[in-house]
Amino acid sequence: MLPTPAAVDVPIKADEHGVIRVSGTRVTLKTIIGRYHAGDPPDLIHEGFPTVPISDVYAVIAYYLANREAVDRYIEAADAEAARVRREIEANYTPEQQARIDRLRQLAAQKRHS
């Protein structure tokens, strides 16, 4: 007979900026869940982020599945804040910087379509 499993602590913690990180690493909750949404299985996620133990990858995914709405709201808020900061930074670009960025985006688009 198997013993009753102990409760599993979810290895996530918000840093001083409110970014939720996994297993005391620099890897974010958003990153792990993003890879999960992209279809990566836990072992491949762990392979891409070896500082996060495989058991913690599973725990984070299980936490997400049990708290999908709250985690999705957190990710949406983080994305909105990142977009706001990006707009703020880009608003201060010089015309030369903006032209360079536009050119790099064109090249990246061409590369994706070739």
What domains lie within the chain, and their CATH numbers?
A: 12-113 (1.10.10.10)
**pLDDT tier at 2, thresholds 50, 70, 90:** confident
Instruction: Kindly indicate the confidence band of residue 100, based on its pLDDT and cuts at 50, 70 and 90.
Output: very high
pLDDT at 8: 81
The structure tokens listed for 82 are 């990142």
Give the Cα separation of 75 and 107 in Å (integer). Answer: 29
Average pLDDT of the chain is 95
Tell me the average pLDDT across 4-9.
81
Q: What confidence tens digit (pLDDT) does each residue in 19-67 have?
A: 999 999 999 999 999 999 999 999 999 999 999 999 999 999 999 999 9
Residue 39 and residue 45: Cα distance in Å, rounded? 10
CB atoms within 10 A of CB 72: 12
Average pLDDT over residues 75-88: 95
Query: Which of 44, 43, 45 lies closest to 29, judged by CA?
Result: 45
Roughly what angle, to the nearest 10 degrees, separates helices 54-66 and 29-37?
80
Q: Is the pLDDT of residue 76 over 90?
A: yes
pTM: 0.81
Residue with tokens 């999908």: 68
**pLDDT greater than 90 at residue 6:** no
